[in-house]
């Protein structure tokens, strides 16, 4: 096999390994919750401890690859991903899973940037590179689609810990091949890692996510929650101050002078916020209320992930003929309609009733993710194209992290608020109602597994909890759906729905789901150009 072709195969293998556990963990959350007696906020952190490092480290790993070698960055990504998965494979506490997820997320950030940078170096001509990146994007989508099915199948026969075993195996195989056969490349150009920018960004993002998750559990006026939000604001102010004065900023704030780039950033955050948030919420609802197996949950999410993979290349071809802003607006409206259609969800909703809403979400998502990076890149000068692409992907991951945090907090607070009313309608005795209310208030949904009541009161209590969960799900779906329509309005106002000449007069041609390959100048950093492509961690898997 020729070296460029081998590079593509390894890049596809690396990104596939990165995204298989995202979907796998999503459908396994109810099983993990029961196995570790985890609270809802514990599960929020299990999701976000993977996404947060991806959001915070994508830009930095792109620079590390440029400075020290993309092969080294790729191998580091495989190592981090494998070690994180191995920790989860042996986990006996929620905290151990958090550590494993954080290491895996850091590995995912390294693989996302280095794999595409290696492809860009192996195929300098944009025409052949576009085909290679399309294969990479297909592998990413395949990982997100197969991850839930693979984990669901494993959970039919083994402990939840074994869902991480395939990741370890794939990483080891990829590392052996890469060490022997993969060619290295770099593109330093006198650049340096922006340590102050990286640290202040981590403080701002982590403070925000911690405040949102803990606020939903402990209350929004709780001291540590307020301190976390204050820290997030201080971190953001410090980040802006540092980046404005840096000779080599991690993220040039000049990018945001482009209305289209800023609009694309807000749109991608809202999209990933809604999609990842409802997947998190639906997974808990399917597992804890409808008592579905992980495999049954995976079949439902396949309607979203699978259609995204199928329609991505189709939309990629349409980008060359129809204004990307028009495609984006249509996709957002479709996604919003699908989310609001799920407001009919209740404890007895069957698979057949979910097919149409989930398919609409999957198709709409493809129309969003395919043109968004192309819009971001083509809206700025050529010398900022790589940073624009990477910055857009960072905002994508941040939106994906906020989804479970915010909607998980809404879920918890809404269930707590409406549960007394549903308990009153259940026919339970006063003492039993107070016992259930206190248990759910203290332990969250995990309390449903050990209420300590007689069989008949337990059935009534579980019915009330299920109805409360369905009520909370309606609120989450409304928030996510309205967010999609708000994103559509922002698209019309900032990007427009007519074909516009890209900045600098050179077309940027979309290729494959979420890619922005094409006539981006060769002098742009391959790692940072690549960092913004692909659907990101937030699709239905995260």
Task: Yes or no: say if 100 and 53 are a contact pair by the CB < 8 Å rule.
Answer: no
Task: Please state, in angstroms and rounded to a whole number, the distance separating the CA atoms of residues 53 and 51.
Answer: 6
pLDDT at residue 537, as a whole number: 34
pLDDT at residue 176, as a whole number: 93
Closest CA to 399 of 539, 198, 258: 539
pLDDT at residue 512, as a whole number: 36
pLDDT at residue 542, as a whole number: 36
DSSP letter for each residue of 456-503? HHHHHHHHHHHHHHHHHHHHHHHHHHHHHHHHHHHHHHHT-SS--PPG
- Please give the structure tokens belonging to residue 384: 């900022």
Q: Does domain 3-194+248-531 have CATH number 1.20.1250.20?
A: yes
- Please give the structure tokens belonging to residue 540: 């239905």
Tell me 160's DSSP state.
G
Task: Please state, in angstroms and rounded to a whole number, the distance separating the CA atoms of residues 505 and 493.
Answer: 22
Q: What is the dihedral of CA 136, 389, 512, 132, to 10 degrees?
A: -40
Task: Yes or no: say if 371 and 502 are a contact pair by the CB < 8 Å rule.
Answer: no
pLDDT at residue 178, as a whole number: 92
Tell me 320's DSSP state.
T
| Element containing residue 275 per DSSP (H, E) | helix 259-284
Task: Yes or no: say if 145 and 20 are a contact pair by the CB < 8 Å rule.
Answer: no
Distance of CA 136 to the CA centre of its chain: 17
pLDDT at residue 126, as a whole number: 63
Task: State the sign of the Cα–Cα–Cα–Cα dihedral 262, 265, 268, 273.
Answer: negative
pLDDT at residue 491, as a whole number: 94
Which residues of the chain carry a pLDDT beneath 50?
A: 502, 504-542
pLDDT at residue 533, as a whole number: 39
pLDDT at residue 2, as a whole number: 54
pLDDT at residue 486, as a whole number: 97
pLDDT at residue 482, as a whole number: 96
Sketch the domain layout of the chain as residue ranges. Answer: 3-194+248-531, 195-247
pLDDT at residue 447, as a whole number: 64
Task: Please state, in angstroms and rounded to a whole number, the distance separating the CA atoms of residues 463 and 405.
Answer: 26
Q: What is the dihedral of CA 369, 375, 378, 380, to 10 degrees?
A: -110
Task: Yes or no: say if 78 and 178 are a contact pair by the CB < 8 Å rule.
Answer: yes
Distance of CA 246 to the CA centre of its chain: 29
Closest CA to 104 of 158, 169, 151, 164: 164
Name residue, tokens 């699709």. Answer: 539
Q: What is the dihedral of CA 217, 221, 226, 228, to 10 degrees?
A: 0
pLDDT at residue 248, as a whole number: 79
| Element containing residue 47 per DSSP (H, E) | helix 40-68
Q: HSE, CB side, 13 Å, CA atoms: give it for residue 188.
A: 5
Closest CA to 264 of 182, 377, 96: 377
292 phi/psi in degrees, rounded to 5: -80, 155
DSSP letter for each residue of 375-427? HHHHTS-GGGHHHHHHHHHHHHHHHHHHHHHHHHHHHHHHHHHHHHHHHHTTT
Digit-coded pLDDT (tens) for 410-468: 988 888 888 888 888 877 777 878 878 877 776 666 666 666 677 777 788 888 888 88
N residues, the chain: 542
Name residue, tokens 């595409």. Answer: 116
Integer angstrom CA distances of residue 356 from 331, 351, 364? 15, 10, 12
Q: How many CB atoms lie within 10 A of CB 321?
A: 8
Closest CA to 112 of 477, 484, 415, 529: 529
Collapsed DSSP state (helix, strand, coil) of residue 304:
helix
């Amino acid at each position: 096999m020729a070296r460029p072709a081998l590079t593509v195969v390894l890049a596809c293998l690396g990104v596939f390994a990165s995204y298989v556990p995202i979907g796998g963990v999503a459908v396994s959350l109810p099983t993990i919750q029961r196995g570790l007696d985890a609270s809802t906020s514990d599960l929020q952190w299990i999701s976000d401890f993977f996404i947060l490092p991806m959001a915070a480290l994508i830009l930095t790993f792109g620079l590390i690859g440029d400075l020290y070698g993309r092969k080294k960055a790729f191998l580091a990504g495989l190592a981090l991903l494998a070690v994180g998965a191995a920790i989860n494979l042996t986990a006996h506490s929620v905290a151990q899973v958090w550590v494993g997820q954080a290491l895996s997320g850091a590995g995912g950030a390294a693989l996302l940037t280095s794999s595409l940078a290696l492809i860009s170096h192996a195929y300098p001509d944009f025409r052949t590179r576009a085909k290679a990146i399309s294969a990479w994007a297909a592998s990413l989508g395949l990982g997100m689609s197969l991850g839930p099915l693979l984990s669901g199948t494993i959970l039919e026969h083994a402990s939840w810990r074994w869902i991480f075993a395939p990741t370890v195996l794939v990483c080891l195989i990829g590392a052996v091949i890469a060490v022997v056969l993969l060619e290295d490349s770099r593109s330093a150009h006198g650049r340096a890692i922006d340590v102050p920018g990286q640290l202040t960004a981590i403080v701002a993002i982590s403070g925000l996510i911690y405040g949102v998750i803990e606020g939903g559990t402990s209350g929004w006026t709780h001291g540590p929650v307020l301190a976390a939000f204050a820290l997030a604001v201080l971190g953001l102010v410090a980040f802006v101050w540092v980046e404005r004065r840096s000779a080599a900023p991690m993220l040039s704030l000049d990018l945001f002078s482009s209305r289209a780039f800023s609009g694309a950033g807000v749109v991608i955050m809202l999209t990933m916020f809604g999609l990842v948030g409802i997947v998190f919420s639906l997974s808990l609802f399917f597992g804890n209320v409808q008592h579905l197996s992980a495999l049954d949950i995976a079949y439902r999410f396949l309607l979203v992930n699978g259609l995204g993979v199928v329609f991505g290349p189709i939309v990629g071809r349409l980008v060359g003929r129809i204004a990307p802003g028009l495609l984006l607006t249509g996709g957002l409206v479709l996604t919003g309609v699908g989310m609001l259609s799920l407001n009919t969800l209740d404890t007895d909703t069957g698979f057949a009733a979910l097919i149409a809403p989930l398919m609409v979400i999957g198709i709409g998502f493809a129309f969003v993710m395919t043109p968004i990076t192309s819009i971001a890149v083509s809206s700025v000068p050529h010398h900022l194209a790589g940073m624009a692409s990477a910055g857009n992907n960072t905002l994508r991951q941040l939106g994906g992290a906020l989804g479970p945090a915010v909607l998980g907090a809404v879920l918890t607070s809404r269930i707590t608020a409406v549960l007394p009313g549903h308990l009153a309608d259940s026919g339970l005795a006063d003492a039993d109602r107070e016992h259930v209310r206190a248990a759910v208030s203290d332990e969250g949904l995990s309390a449903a597994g050990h209420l300590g009541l007689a069989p008949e009161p337990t059935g009534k209590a579980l019915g009330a909890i299920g109805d409360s969960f369905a009520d909370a799900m309606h609120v989450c779906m409304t928030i996510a759906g309205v967010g999609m329509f708000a994103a559509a309005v922002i698209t019309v106002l900032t990007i427009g729905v007519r074909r516009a000449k890209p900045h600098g007069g050179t077309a940027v041609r979309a290729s494959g789901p979420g890619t922005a390959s094409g006539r981006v100048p060769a002098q742009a950093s391959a790692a940072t150009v690549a960092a913004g492509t692909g659907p990101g961690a937030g699709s239905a898997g995260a």
